[in-house]
Amino acid sequence: MSAVLDVREIRMTFRNGDELTEVLKGIDLALEPGELAALLGASGSGKSTLLSIVGLLLRPTTGTITIAGQRVEGFSDTESALFRNQRLGFIFQFHHLLPDFTATENVAFPAAAPAGGITPSMRQRARELLARVGLSDRMDFPARRLSGGQKQRVAIARALMNKPDLVLADEPTGSLDRIAAEQVLDLMREVNREDGATFLICTHDEHVAARCTRRITLQDGHVEGNAQAESISK
């Protein structure tokens, strides 16, 4: 089976004036379809940076990225946007729903914007997804009236709208309380199991990591396990 995500030798150096900070020092990472992977590491270890690079929101200094068989690191802005729209799903710590739109409209948005409007079939799918995340009774609520946990569940449904190959989540439970976090996590596990959607989830939370099918830890700009593997093989 070919990998959904295959990154090789990713390096990322930030420049602040004359000061250079090398955050990622050669990341190699592959995700198989259906994996639910936790990306762990100390604060400042570069988790969000790596996720942004994989999500085509940030260009790495060097390295190659293959998603669903396509080399993407050389994409133009427009190609990246189109690719994000069709192949990737995003969940952020702060949901960033569109507060003036209903839950259904928020979920349908990634499909509606490029198509020029919400079609009945988009609405239908959005409603199914909302039912899936347990919000059947909130479909026509304006997003601003939803609770934090409800908003994050809408954000998950939105990330799934265009049937992405890979869902990238940055601290998806970071701003939720224990119970809401639990629900969101269960939901992601369920979608992962039932749809075979592949997840890469950045988290600090051991609790989250424990429920994932795989743990990837960043340390000193490397993937920890890999670094070990390298040192063992030497």
Ligand X SMILES: Nc1ncnc2c1ncn2[C@@H]1O[C@H](COP(=O)(O)OP(=O)(O)OP(=O)(O)O)[C@@H](O)[C@H]1O
Can you give the binding site for ligand X, defined by CB under 6 A?
14, 16, 21, 23, 41, 43-49, 204
* Contact present, 156 and 187 (Cβ < 8 Å): yes
Interaction between residue 114 and other proteins (CB under 8 A): yes
CA distance 32 to 157: 22
Q: Which is nearer to Mg ion, 48 or 183 (CB)?
A: 48
* Contact present, 127 and 104 (Cβ < 8 Å): yes
Q: What stretches of the chain adopt beta strand conformation (E)?
A: 5-16, 19-31, 36-41, 62-67, 70-71, 88-91, 166-170, 198-202, 214-219, 222-223
Stretch that binds other proteins, among 1-9, 111-119, 188-196, 206-214 (CB under 8 A): 111-119
User: Which residues, listed in sequence order, are joined to residue 10 by a DSSP beta bridge?
Assistant: 27
Q: Which is nearer to ligand X, 28 or 32 (CB)?
A: 28
Interaction between residue 86 and other proteins (CB under 8 A): yes
Please, what is the minimum distance in Å from the beta carbon of residue 121 to ligand X? 37
Q: Answer with the entry of Mg ion, other proteins, ligand X, none that 21 interacts with (C-beta below 5 to 8 A by kind).
A: ligand X
Interaction between residue 204 and other proteins (CB under 8 A): no
Q: Answer with the entry of Mg ion, ligand X, other proteins, none that 116 interacts with (C-beta below 5 to 8 A by kind).
A: other proteins
CA distance 166 to 174: 20
The burial class, CB within 10 Å (0-12 / 13-18 / 19+), for 114 is exposed
Interaction between residue 47 and other proteins (CB under 8 A): no
CA distance 79 to 85: 10
Please, what is the minimum distance in Å from the beta carbon of residue 210 to ligand X? 18
- Total residues binding other proteins (CB under 8 A): 35
Binding site for Mg ion (CB under 5 A): 48
Binding site for other proteins (CB under 8 A): 48, 52, 55, 57-58, 77-78, 81-86, 88-90, 92, 94, 96-101, 109-110, 112-118, 158-159
